[in-house]
Amino acid sequence: MSEAVFEQVLLIGKYQVPQAQRLLGDIAARLSRAGVEVVVDEDTARHSELPYPALSNRDLPLRAARGGWVAVVLGGDGTMLGAARRLAPLNIPLVGINAGRVGFMTDIADREWEDALDAMLAGRFEREERAMLAGTVERAGVPIYRAIAVNDIVVNRSGASGLVELKVDVNGRFMYVQRADGLIVATPTGSTAYAMSAYGPILHPSVGGVVLVPIAPHTLSNRPIVLPGDAAITIEIGSQRDVSVNFDMQTFAELIGGDRIHIGPAPYRCVFLHPPGWSFFATLRRKLHWHEIPGES
C-alpha cells in the first residue's frame, strides 16, 4: 500500500450504541495522531459528537474522485453492507471493525483494532475485491426500481400468503418454475448469509459465481445451483400479491404478478482491506465454530 491510500479516512460508525460512540472517538484520535485526515460520514456525524469535520453524501463523490481515500467502518455486517453499496461505485476501499454479533465482513475484532490499524497504516494488509449484483424491477416492460447488492437479492412472500411462483430464465433460456417461500440470488460474499441458512453452499470470495437457493421449496428436488458470475438471471413473478424483492435486506420493492427482476453482475466491485495474515478459512472457523487448529484464537 502506498501512503496515499490513507491520506483521508472516512469514518462510518454504528452510532446507536454508546460503547460504539466511544470507540469511534478512540479510532479517530489514533488515526489523527498518525497524521491521517479524518472526516466523519454525514449520518455518523449527525448522531455523534466527534470533533472532526463531517462530509456530506452530496459532496463525497467529488472529494472521492481525487483519490487517496479509505473508509473505516465500525459496526456489524449490516453497517458494512450499507457502506459497501454506497462506496463501491466511488472506488473507496473499506476496513471493517466488528461491533456487531457475527461479523463475516467486519473482520477486525474490537479488542484488536489498534494493532490492526497500526499495521495497515504501515502498509501491511490484504487487499480483496468482491463481486456485487445489480437488479432492475420491470413492470409491463418499464423499469420501476433499481438497486445493487453485496450479499444477495431475495424474492419472497411478504405477507401471510402461501408459496410464491417464480419463473426463472438464465441467459435467455428457461430454467424452471420455482414454487417456494422465495428464492435467494447470492454472491460468494452472500453465500455465508441468508443463503447459508437456507442450506446453500459456501462459495470462496474469489469464485466467479452466483448461487440460487430456494427458500423452503415445494419440491425437495429443487436444490441450490451455482451459476457463472456473469449470468443474466430473470425472475418473473407468477403470484398476484404479497411478494417483495429485497437487496441485502436493506432496500426493497413490492411486486405484483407479471413483474420481472433482471439480475446480473454490478459494473463495479467492492474492495475490502484486511489486516495482515487474514484468511477466509480462519474467518469460517471462528464464525461457524469449526474445529480450530491448536493455538488459534
pLDDT value at residue 1:
37
Q: Is residue 134 pLDDT above 90, yes or no?
A: yes
- Residue positions annotated with a catalytic role: 77
CATH architecture for segment(s) 3-130+269-288: 3-Layer(aba) Sandwich (3.40)
pLDDT value at residue 111:
85
pLDDT value at residue 239:
83
- Confidence bin at 127 (pLDDT 50/70/90): very high
Could you report the per-residue pLDDT of 244-262, keeping only the tens digit for each? 999 999 888 899 999 999 9
CATH 3.40.50.10330 domain residues, the chain: 3-130+269-288
- Confidence bin at 297 (pLDDT 50/70/90): low
The mean per-residue pLDDT over the stretch 112-121 comes to: 91
Q: Is residue 282 pLDDT above 60, yes or no?
A: yes
pLDDT value at residue 292:
62
Give the homologous superfamily in CATH for domain 133-265.
Answer: Probable inorganic polyphosphate/atp-NAD kinase; domain 2 (2.60.200.30)
pLDDT value at residue 3:
45
pLDDT value at residue 122:
87
Residue 176 CA: distances (Å) to CA of 70, 173, 242, 276 = 43, 10, 21, 44
66 versus 208: which is more confidently predicted? Answer: 208
Q: Is residue 195 pLDDT above 70, yes or no?
A: yes
- Confidence bin at 240 (pLDDT 50/70/90): confident
pLDDT value at residue 6:
75
The mean per-residue pLDDT over the stretch 49-59 comes to: 91
Neighbours of 91 (CB within 10 A): 14
List of residues 6+ apart from 220 with CB closer than 8 A: none
**Local structure of residue 49 (DSSP, 8 states):** -
Among candidate residues 201, 246, 197, 195, the one with its CA nearest the CA of residue 85 = 246
Q: Is residue 161 pLDDT above 80, yes or no?
A: no
CATH 2.60.200.30 domain residues, the chain: 133-265
Contact 192, 202 (CB under 8 A): yes
Separation CA 64–CA 81 (nearest Å): 19
146 versus 158: which is more confidently predicted? Answer: 146
pLDDT value at residue 66:
82
Q: Is residue 274 pLDDT above 80, yes or no?
A: yes
Q: Is residue 126 pLDDT above 60, yes or no?
A: yes
pLDDT value at residue 296:
58
Q: Is residue 235 pLDDT above 80, yes or no?
A: yes
Q: Please identify which residue in the block is written with the cell numbers 452472500.
A: 190
Q: What is the mean pLDDT of the chain?
A: 90
List of residues 6+ apart from 13 with CB closer than 8 A: 20, 21, 23, 24, 41, 44, 48, 73, 74, 75, 79, 99
Q: Is residue 65 pLDDT above 50, yes or no?
A: yes
